[in-house]
Amino acid sequence: MLVVMKTQATPEEIQAVCDHIEQLGFRAHPLPGAQRTAIGITGNKDAVERGNIEALSGVAEVIRVSKAYKLASRDVKEEDTIVTFPAEGACSEAAIGGRNLAIVAGPCSIESRDQAFAIARHIAESGAQFFRGGAYKPRTSPYAFQGLGLDALKIMADIRDTYGLRIVTEAIDNESLELVAEYADVIQIGARNMQNFSLLKHAGRLRKPVLLKRGLSATLEEFLMSAEYIMSEGNYQVILCERGVRTFADHTRNTLDLSIIPAVQRLSHLPILVDPSHGTGRRDSVLPMARAAVATGADGILVEVHHQPEKALSDGPQSIYPDQFVRMMNELEQIAPVVGRSLPRAIHAESPAV
Ligand code: PEP
Ligand code: MN
């Protein structure tokens, strides 16, 4: 159910409606919009009695939301969600969603302080605003490099302070989630964990943006239901990420499903990034698919960059070189205005000697 408040409803009236909903044993999710506030009602008990709520002061109407996912749906929030990051420390203001494209770039894994800083310097010089790097790696083989864990988080926190890049890194379980939430600006939940409902719920209890990657074989509805798990716990800062799905095609590691972008944008207000690195698994396909993603209307790109990909401990073959990243930024900057977007270039702190 969705309670639509009148345009002139006061904060007190909105609060009173939320209190009423909670007293009934449901959960109230106030969703402020440009014109008016809507309040989503969730809870798995009986149906809410619409009559009582409609009579409350400041309420315009009460609507049934028929979609399985509610808070993620455009039915409850018409305007696009923009996840904002206020200026803080060395970081300038940033956003994911809205007019500006967001670029998240960095190695698959943090392998050492030198490796991470060398790559971060290139990312910062290109004017991207977000640095990615895995500290906890979900690897297919238990014998493959599993990530440096806490040491990697500390290296990334130093990268934020040095370059003003915001940090995006993955939590693979509830244990790593706590640490990632402490150090990162955005918590990534990877494809293999898209339906780890316990992890989703825990991330929903935090108040940090979550970047949720599409599962290897997830349908659009399953993807949005996973976003709903996070939002149902009160964390509305969810960023979706298409990273390719398993198909019979064997010319790429996965099949990057760009057709999900307009589908997501029709059904949901959440921003969506595209990851052409895992989406193709091939360095030579990353740039063409990044261009296509922006042309299709993605809110930004998540891309793996490595200065020595032949030595990378994970995902070397799909990591682009820094000069390819520069080219990517230049080309996306030119494509962006064609689709009503722009690519902001952050001016970062002087590169220190590392
Ligand atoms: C990653 O971003 O390094 C990663 C492991 O991605 P995915 O979960 O999409 O495979
Ligand atoms: Mn990777």
Q: Supply 217's token pair.
A: 């074989």
The one-letter amino acid code at 52 reads: N
Residue 31 pairs in a beta bridge with 38
Ligand 1: lining residues by beta carbon, under 6 Å: 108, 134, 138, 190-192, 213, 243, 278
Q: Which atom of ligand 1 is nearest to the CA of 108?
A: 3
The answer to whether residues 89 and 161 touch, using CB atoms and an 8 Å cutoff, is yes
Sign of the dihedral defined by the CA atoms of residues 245, 248, 250, 256, in that order: negative
**Confidence (pLDDT) at 45:** 65
Tens-level pLDDT at each residue, the chain (354 residues): 999 999 999 999 999 999 999 999 999 999 998 889 999 999 866 677 777 899 999 999 999 988 899 999 999 999 999 999 999 999 999 999 999 999 999 999 999 999 999 999 999 999 999 999 999 999 999 999 999 999 999 999 999 999 999 999 999 999 999 999 999 999 999 999 999 999 999 999 999 999 999 999 999 999 999 999 999 999 999 999 999 999 999 999 999 999 999 999 999 999 999 999 999 999 999 999 999 999 999 999 999 999 999 999 999 999 999 999 999 999 999 999 999 999 999 887 655 544
The one-letter amino acid code at 259 reads: S
**Confidence (pLDDT) at 57:** 96
The answer to whether residues 231 and 72 touch, using CB atoms and an 8 Å cutoff, is yes
Say how far apart CA 92 and CA 207 lie, in whole Å: 20
Please give the torsion angle defined by the CA atoms of residues 312, 317, 319 and 324, in that order, rounded to the nearest 10 degrees. Answer: 120
The phi and psi torsions of 32 (rounded to 5 degrees) equal -65, 135
Say how far apart CA 109 and CA 223 lie, in whole Å: 25
Say how far apart CA 172 and CA 79 lie, in whole Å: 31
Neighbours of ion ligand 2 (CB under 5 A): 108, 315
**Confidence (pLDDT) at 236:** 97
Ligand with smallest separation from the Cα of 242: 1
Say how far apart CA 5 and CA 71 lie, in whole Å: 16
The answer to whether residues 338 and 132 touch, using CB atoms and an 8 Å cutoff, is no
**Confidence (pLDDT) at 196:** 98
The CA R_g of the chain, rounded to the nearest whole Å, is 21
Q: Supply 134's token pair.
A: 């895995």
Spacing of C-alpha 226 from chain mean position: 13
Q: Which atom of ligand 1 is nearest to the CA of 190?
A: 8
Q: For atom 4 of ligand 1, which residue has the closest CA? A: 190
Question: Whats the size of the chain, residue-wise?
Answer: 354
CA of 238 from ligand 1 middle (Å) equals 17
Which of 187, 125, 121, 208 lies closest to 158, judged by CA? Answer: 121
Say how far apart CA 221 and CA 349 lie, in whole Å: 42
Q: For atom 3 of ligand 1, which residue has the closest CA? A: 108
Contacts of 291 by beta carbon, 8 Å cutoff, 6+ apart: 331, 332, 335
Which of 34, 44, 48, 35 lies closest to 2, judged by CA? Answer: 48
Q: For atom 1 of ligand 1, which residue has the closest CA? A: 108
The answer to whether residues 158 and 133 touch, using CB atoms and an 8 Å cutoff, is no
Pocket probe for ligand 1: among 148, 156, 213, the residue whose CB has the most ligand atoms within 8 Å is: 213
Q: For atom 10 of ligand 1, which residue has the closest CA? A: 191
